[in-house]
Chain A
Amino acid sequence: MSGKKIATPILSILAFLAIWEFIVWINGWPNYVMASPSDLPEAYIRYWQLFLIDSWQTLWRTVAGLALSILFGTFLGMIMGFSRSARDALYPLLVGFNAIPKATVVPVLALLFIGQHDFNTVLMAFLISFFPIAVSVGIGLSTLEPEYRDILGALGASKFTIFRKIALPKTLPEFFGALKVSVTLAFIGTNLVEIISPHGKGLGALFLSGQTNGDYPLMFAVLIALAALGIVLYYAVVLLEKIFAGWAERQPG
């Protein structure tokens, strides 16, 4: 059973690579038009140190931004979940902010905090990824059925106790659902800064150097490395979800 659970995704990834290789081969594309999977190992072998260093740069800044998102998003969600007027006041602001293409924010941040590359990158990862968390925590809390409040409220329990014992755990499945979206968003945020505001750090920088040097297999290798990092982070969230909100998963059938 668990063997099959691991084998199925691995097979699908291999199939994807095979189809990719086949399409490049049948069209006879040279690698400066479209690299094929067989071009990639060479790039990884040649630049393995850079890949390790830059992956780490991208990873820690993404995770730091995501951590900020969780703190701030949960806090904002709590405010919106408990107060109707806060919800009415904050929603248009949040939606408006979320609608701004984040690529346009990068130069603004770069001017605001000149030279603070790590800070800028973490900030962008945060700015792009807190919205889903805030909204889903807010909705989770505001849609709590009144009976859930009443079973403890009728005993004189404080608002905080009701939040801690009932509202918070009940919102966890929504929270993790949002976190899965935020993980990939935070990655996009980190790479936006690395590519649009180059400062020689992260996988985005490696991508840029591939572009500058016309090393197309390197560019593709970076893309695949990004995908791999994304998958790793995503499944880290899935693991946390299983630990803290595994109860929400129903056995099929």
Chain B
Amino acid sequence: MDTLIDIRGVSHAYQTRHGPLPVLDGLDITVPQGEFCAVVGPSGCGKSTLTRLVAGLMKPDQGEVWLHGEKVTSPRKTVGMAFQNPVMLEWRSILENVILPLEIVAPAMSKAEKYARAEHLLEMVGLKGFETKRPSELSGGMRQRASLCRAIVHKPDVLIMDEPFGALDNFTREDLWQTMRDLRSNEPFTAVLITHDLRESVFLGDQVVVLSGRPARTQYLLEVDLPADRGIDILYEPKAVDMLHVLRDQIRIAQGRDGEAHA
């Protein structure tokens, strides 16, 4: 398969009052077309910086980010983004929130076509019948579903997600994992998911990248060879449990707490 996202030796530092604060240090990540890459790592290790670099919202100090064989130097219309905050525009209905990217990316598209596309996605995530509601009338999980629809409404090549399920309760989160899995089988996109949740990374990812503590580099790469149509139950099977143990150990190393492992 073709490589869609290629992050090559990316280093980045922020300028602070106490001098430069390096957050990324020679990061390498390669995601083939159509694959789902979950990125985990300790808090504050530069994961959000990574999303902004892939989106072209920032340029790295060193190294390069390539999408589709093109070097990323600025934002591009083929990217979709979702955040922990669903970022709903309260003055728009759910349907009008979802079509927002189309207004930028496809201004020539007719309103009817935009609505049809958005309605199709909303139905897929179980929000049929909520199109005319205001975001404030929906629960957090429903708002996040709408936010996912908005992130992919313009059929982006790359979906970048920064802890989109982080603020949800456990059961809602697991529901959304399954929604995400179903969306993938209907909508072809390559995804980068930043998360703190190891179970989430194993359930959704084709590969899990463990970042080291700050400044972050690629510390470990786990290929997840579980069936594509996996259900939540698979997380309780030995194969998945083994992977979770491996990831847990890697996080411990990344946190610099190797010595207290298994304590």
Q: Which residues of A contact B (CB under 8 A)?
A: 145, 147-148, 150-157, 161, 165-166, 169-170, 172, 245, 247-248, 250
Q: Which residues of B contact A (CB under 8 A)?
A: 52, 55-57, 74-77, 79-81, 83, 85, 87, 89-91, 100-101, 103-105, 134, 136, 150, 154, 160
Say yes or no: A153-B57 contact (C-beta < 8 A), given A147-B83, A148-B87, A247-B91. Answer: yes
Chain A hits for B103, CB < 8 A: 165
B107 to chain A, nearest CB (A): 10
Q: In the complex, are the beta carbons of A150 and B81 less than 8 A apart?
A: yes
Say yes or no: A152-B100 contact (C-beta < 8 A), given A147-B83, A247-B134, A250-B136. Answer: yes
A-B contact pairs, 25 of them (CB 8 A): A145-B87, A147-B85, A147-B87, A148-B87, A150-B52, A150-B55, A151-B81, A151-B100, A152-B100, A152-B104, A153-B75, A154-B80, A154-B160, A155-B75, A155-B77, A155-B101, A155-B154, A156-B74, A156-B104, A157-B104, A165-B100, A169-B91, A247-B134, A248-B90, A248-B91
B195 to chain A, nearest CB (A): 17
The 7 nearest A-B residue pairs measured at CB: A156-B75, A247-B91, A154-B55, A147-B83, A147-B87, A155-B104, A157-B104
A169 to chain B, nearest CB (A): 5
- Give Cα A161–Cα B57 distance, bound, in whole angstroms: 16
- Give Cα A152–Cα B103 distance, bound, in whole angstroms: 10
- Give Cα A85–Cα B57 distance, bound, in whole angstroms: 22
A146 to chain B, nearest CB (A): 9
- Give Cα A250–Cα B83 distance, bound, in whole angstroms: 24
Q: Of the candidates B77, B85, B89, B91, which one forms a contact with A156 in the assembled complex, judged by CB atoms under 8 Å apart?
A: B77
B62 to chain A, nearest CB (A): 22
Chain B hits for A247, CB < 8 A: 90-91, 134, 136
The residue in chain B whose Cβ has the minimal distance to the Cβ of A155 is B104
A75 to chain B, nearest CB (A): 22
Q: Of the candidates B52, B74, B87, B91, which one forms a contact with A151 in the assembled complex, judged by CB atoms under 8 Å apart?
A: B87
- Give Cα A145–Cα B162 distance, bound, in whole angstroms: 15
A contacts with B: majority SS? helix
B113 to chain A, nearest CB (A): 18
Chain B hits for A166, CB < 8 A: 89
The residue in chain B whose Cβ has the minimal distance to the Cβ of A152 is B104
Say yes or no: A154-B79 contact (C-beta < 8 A), given A161-B104, A165-B100, A247-B134. Answer: yes
Chain A hits for B56, CB < 8 A: 154
Please name 16 further chain A to chain B contacts, defined as beta carbons within 8 Å, in addition to the given A150-B81, A153-B57, sorted by A numbering. A147-B83, A147-B85, A150-B52, A151-B81, A151-B83, A151-B87, A151-B150, A154-B57, A154-B80, A155-B75, A155-B104, A161-B104, A170-B89, A172-B91, A247-B90, A248-B90
- Give Cα A194–Cα B134 distance, bound, in whole angstroms: 47
Chain A hits for B52, CB < 8 A: 150
A73 to chain B, nearest CB (A): 21
Q: Of the candidates A145, A157, A161, A170, which one forms a contact with B85 in the assembled complex, judged by CB atoms under 8 Å apart?
A: A145
Say yes or no: A150-B57 contact (C-beta < 8 A), given A155-B104, A157-B104, A161-B104. Answer: yes
- Give Cα A172–Cα B56 distance, bound, in whole angstroms: 30
The residue in chain A whose Cβ has the minimal distance to the Cβ of B74 is A156
A245 to chain B, nearest CB (A): 8
A250 to chain B, nearest CB (A): 6
